[in-house]
Amino acid sequence: MNVRRLDVRHLLCPLPVIRTQQKVKELMSGDVLEVVSTDPGALNDIPAWCRVNGHRVLKVTEQDREVVVRLEVSKTSQ
């Protein structure tokens, strides 16, 4: 299991989700991706994208105008 970090700060919708999707394609099942965004929409958009695509949201936090979504990659749904 690898833990990766994706910095999508200062990007607006839909770019945080698009960049997350691109990064997930590079990862293996079971890997963890931590996405850091300043777009408040990412608070809902990235977890929704995860649900649709079968990835598991491990944690969502919001602090100092940053949204951090930690997800586990699942390749079974792709």
How does pLDDT run across 26-78, given as a tens digit for each residue?
999 999 999 999 999 999 999 999 999 999 999 999 999 999 999 999 987 44
pTM of the model: 0.94
CB 68 within 8 A of CB 53: no
Judge whether 50 counts as a catalytic residue.
no
Q: Which domains does the chain have, with CATH numbers?
A: 3-72 (3.30.110.40)
- Sequence-distant (6+) residues with CB within 8 A of 47 are 57, 60, 69
Catalytic residue among 12, 13, 48, 58: 13
- Closest to 54 in 3D by CA, of 21, 22, 16: 21
The total number of residues shown for the chain amounts to: 78
